[in-house]
Structure 1
Amino acid sequence: MTSAEGFQPVKSAGRTLEVLETLAASGGRRSLGDLARDLGIPKSSLHGILRTMMQRGWVEADDTGTRFGLGVRALQVGAAYLDTDDAVGLLAGVLDDLSGQFGETVHLGRLDGAHVVYTAKRESMHPLRLYSAIGRRLPAHATALGKVLLAERADETVETIIGTSPAPLTRHTITDLAALHADLAVSRDRGYAVDHEENTEGIVCFAVAVPLHTPAVDAISLSIPVARLDGHLEERVVAALRRAVDQVRAARGLLTVS
């Protein structure tokens, strides 16, 4: 379809990117038939795309040659993105400080459409921890990272981003739009967001927006299992996240932001 600016997308390039995005979201290898069905691409055309991508290292096949996943080239490009991202570098010390204070999982995340993407992480020191990985995408409405970034935007913009029927990830996920707007209003007023087992059962997450852009596109979070969380620890976490925001404000002169 031609865009409003009159640009005609290149069909082959679009299909190639759709294959990469689908494989990235799959979490495992996919068969040719599965990919053809999901993408609506004829098997003959898709086979040629996959073979070309395999030759360039973007896609790998299993030993049978029938199931396909991302190749090492995708990792190299993803790593290059993070290596050149100013925010990831600037905030590394802040993430280290939070990790050292609490020994819990710390994330840096970026709003990407209706999702938030982990761009940096510090692992918990405890056996009972949140499983996550850099590059993982999660629905913004179901995470503290996403909610604190949505709270930076007007209600109308939030609905444009996430739609009117947000899907549940757990039984605690807020799926009623009015209730979500109310939750975002609370987050906006107090300066931080909380997800009470809305993304993962048994995990509570606290997040603050990173003041590098207006509205913010990055946020920092700290995730704690319910079993280790009490009122005193929650107060300490919130205070530490607020100090982190102050640190970022003091350091923002190191970045040229728009």
Structure 2
Amino acid sequence: MSTADMSAGESAGGGGQVKSAVRTVELLEYFAGRPGMHSLADVQQAVGYPKSSLYMLLRTLTDLGWVETDATGTRYGIGVRALLVGTSYIDGDEVVAAARAALDRLAEDTTETIHLARLDGVNVVYLATRQSQHYLRPFTRVGRRLPAHSTALGKAILATYPDEQVRRMLPETLQSLTEHTITDRERLVEELHTVRERGYAVDREENTLGLRCFGVAIPYRTPARDAISCSVPVARLTPAHEQLIRDALFDARDRLALATRRL
């Protein structure tokens, strides 16, 4: 039985979850994971709530600014208040604050795109970005959620967990984002052995075609929760540049280990 289907009696009991609160959170997470506007029928099909209850919940969230509608009032999407809460989380996070100088230095040393992300279940959520000096168009992944197994960030963090715990966390068959994504859990576990040995993880166009990423976990807790990465287009990646990136990542990791040692 899902939390959204708990009875009112269960919700009222001590320690139980409140059904309306669970549905609200699940609905906001649905919109957060699916950018754009969606019809009531599409939302109802996805979440499975009774249509009348769903409509009243959407109407309430719209009135409060957590959900927005299009000009017709028939399609729904995430509202601006969700952005305010997300920004508040990042602004108040001690690791993000402690990492700013190291991320700036890493971006300057590599001239490439830098990310800081946190493990959330089987995904990583991006908390900070530094743009590549080679791109003219601004781009940020802050707030985005991607499968941990397809990113250097996620693999760097997963490598700090025991194999059996990784097996419990991930399904046998993993989501494929590109033709290069590792989709077999045991193959991923084997790669995590290599990550532990060399100290960094590599995303070989497993998340985005044409892009290779290198990532290291931040060791302020064990298992790790956060990691940093450097992304570079494959067409511009030379052996010398790859070595520079690895050295810069190790230097940034050591700086962050010091900056976060009391967290």
Question: TM-score, length-normalised on structure 1?
Answer: 0.94
Q: What corresponds to 1:140 in structure 2? A: 148
| Letter in structure 2 aligned against 1:241 | L
CA-CA distance at 1:155 after TM superposition: 1.0
Aligned counterparts, 1:182-201, within 5 A: 182-201=190-209
CA-CA distance at 1:161 after TM superposition: 1.4
Q: 2:170·2:185 contact (CA, 8 Å) conserved in 1?
A: no
Q: 1:204·1:223 contact (CA, 8 Å) conserved in 2?
A: yes
Q: What corresponds to 2:166 in structure 1? A: 158
Tell me, yes or no, if structure 1 residue 65 matches structure 2 residue 73. Answer: yes
Measured against aligned partners, the alpha-carbon deviations of 1:169-217 in whole angstroms (never above 9, x if no partner) come to 1111111222211110000111110010011100000000011111110
Work out the percentage of aligned pairs sharing the same amino acid: 51
Aligned counterparts, 1:185-224, within 5 A: 185-224=193-232
**CA 1:25–1:157 in structure 2 vs 1: closer, same or farther (change >3 Å)?**
same
Stretches of structure 2 that go unaligned for 5 or more consecutive residues are 1-5
> In angstroms, what is the RMSD of aligned CA positions?
1.8
Q: Distance in 1 between matches of 2:186 and 2:25?
A: 36
CA-CA distance at 1:102 after TM superposition: 1.9
Q: 1:142·1:195 contact (CA, 8 Å) conserved in 2?
A: yes
**Runs of at least 4 residues off by over 6 Å:** none
Q: What corresponds to 1:32 in structure 2? A: 40
| Letter in structure 2 aligned against 1:237 | I
Q: 2:200·2:215 contact (CA, 8 Å) conserved in 1?
A: yes
Q: What corresponds to 2:250 in structure 1? A: 242
Q: 1:130·1:225 contact (CA, 8 Å) conserved in 2?
A: no
**CA 1:72–1:129 in structure 2 vs 1: closer, same or farther (change >3 Å)?**
closer
Classify the secondary structure of the residue corresponding to 1:127: coil
Classify the secondary structure of the residue corresponding to 1:239: helix
CA-CA distance at 1:6 after TM superposition: 6.9
| Letter in structure 1 aligned against 2:99 | L
CA-CA distance at 1:14 after TM superposition: 0.8
Q: Distance in 2 between matches of 1:242 and 1:203?
A: 20
Q: 1:168 aligns with which of 165, 176, 195?
A: 176
Measured against aligned partners, the alpha-carbon deviations of 1:110-167 in whole angstroms (never above 9, x if no partner) come to 0000000101111112238896521101010000000010000011111111211112
Q: Distance in 2 between matches of 1:159 and 1:192?
A: 20
**Higher deviation after alignment, 139-148 or 177-186:** 177-186
CA-CA distance at 1:104 after TM superposition: 1.1
Tell me, yes or no, if structure 1 residue 109 matches structure 2 residue 117. Answer: yes
| Letter in structure 1 aligned against 2:202 | V
CA-CA distance at 1:51 after TM superposition: 0.9
Q: 1:123 aligns with which of 110, 120, 131?
A: 131
Classify the secondary structure of the residue corresponding to 1:169: coil
CA-CA distance at 1:7 after TM superposition: 2.9
Q: Distance in 2 between matches of 1:31 and 1:74?
A: 19
Stretches of structure 1 that go unaligned for 5 or more consecutive residues are none
Q: What corresponds to 1:99 in structure 2? A: 107
Tell me the number of residue pairs that the alignment of Structure 1 and Structure 2 aligns.
254
Q: 1:129·1:225 contact (CA, 8 Å) conserved in 2?
A: no
